[in-house]
Chains A and B, each alone.
Chain A
Amino acid sequence: MIYEKYIRVLYLDLTTKKIRIENREDLYSYLGGVGVASKLLEENLKPELDPMDPQQPVIFAIGAASTIFPVVTKTVAMFWSPLTGELGESYAGGRMAMTLFLAGYDAIVITGSSDKPAYITISRNNVEFKDARALWGLSCDEVGRVVREREPGGGKRSIIRIGPAGENLVSYACVCVDTYRHFGRLGLGAVLGSKKLKAISIVGDRDLPIKNFKEYFKVYQELYNRVTDTSIMSKYHDAGTPINIEPLNAAGGLPTKNLKQSVFEHGDKISGETFAHKNLVRKMACTGCPVGCIHIGQFRREFDKGHEYEAVSVSYDYELLFALGSFLGIKSSDEILQLIEVVENLGLDAMSTGVVLGWATEALAKNLITQEQTLVPLAFGNTQAYITAIEYIACKKNEFYSILAQGADKASDVYGGKDFAMTFGKNEMPGYHTGYGSIIGPTVGARHSHLCNGGYSIDQSMKEFDKEKLVEKIFAEEKERCMLNSLIICLFARKVYDRETILAALNSIGYNLTNEDLTAIGERIYKTKLRIKNMMGYDSKNVRFPKRLFETPSMSGQLDEKVAYELLDMYNKKVEEMMAKEDA
Chain B
Amino acid sequence: MKVYLEVGSFLNRYTSGQTSLEIDISGDKTATEVVLSAGVPEDEIGFIAVNGQKVDSDYILKENDIIRVYPLIVGG
Contacts and interface: CB of A to CB of B under 8 A. Distances in A.
Contact of A460 (B9, B49, B73, B76): B73
B75 A251 contact: no
Contacts, number: 65
A126 interface: no
Given A235-B10, A238-B10, A247 B47 contact: yes
B73 A250 contact: no
A456 interface: yes
A494 B76 CA distance: 8
A74 B68 CA distance: 36
Dominant secondary structure of chain A at its interface with chain B: helix
Interface in B56-75: 68, 70-75
A318 B75 CA distance: 8
Contact of A239 (B10, B46, B75): B10
B75 A247 contact: no
Interface string A466-500: 00000000000000000000000011101000000
B73 A432 contact: yes
A243 B74 contact: yes
A251 B9 contact: no
Nearest to B44: A231
Contacts of B46: 247, 251, 460
A244 B75 contact: yes
A250 B71 contact: no
Interface residues of B, number: 17
A198 B8 CA distance: 44
A258 B55 CA distance: 27
Given A239-B10, A273-B8, A492-B76, A251 B70 contact: yes
A434 B73 contact: yes
Interface residues of A, number: 31
A265 to B, nearest CB: 14
A434 B74 CA distance: 13
A131 to B, nearest CB: 38
Interface in A219-276: 231, 235-236, 238-239, 241, 243-244, 246-248, 250-253, 272-273, 276
B2 interface: no
B54 interface: yes
A551 to B, nearest CB: 20
A457 B9 contact: no
A451 interface: yes
B68 A250 contact: yes
A33 interface: no
Contact of B73 (A231, A238, A451, A457): A457
Nearest to B75: A241
Contacts of A329: none
A403 B71 CA distance: 40
A239 B74 CA distance: 11
B40 to A, nearest CB: 11
Contact of B10 (A243, A252, A456): A243
Nearest to A459: B73
Given A250-B49, A250-B54, A251-B54, A273 B74 contact: no
A247 B70 contact: yes
The winner among B9, B44, B47, B49 for most chain A CB atoms within 10 A is B9
A451 B76 contact: yes
B10 A248 contact: no
A250 B70 contact: yes
A384 B10 CA distance: 33
A454 interface: yes
A177 to B, nearest CB: 16
Nearest to A491: B76
Interface string A16-60: 000000000000000000000000000000000000000000000
B9 to A, nearest CB: 5
A420 B44 CA distance: 34
Given A432-B73, A460-B73, A251 B47 contact: yes
Interface of B: 8-10, 41, 44, 46-47, 49, 54, 68, 70-76
6 contacts: A238-B9, A244-B75, A247-B46, A273-B9, A457-B75, A460-B72
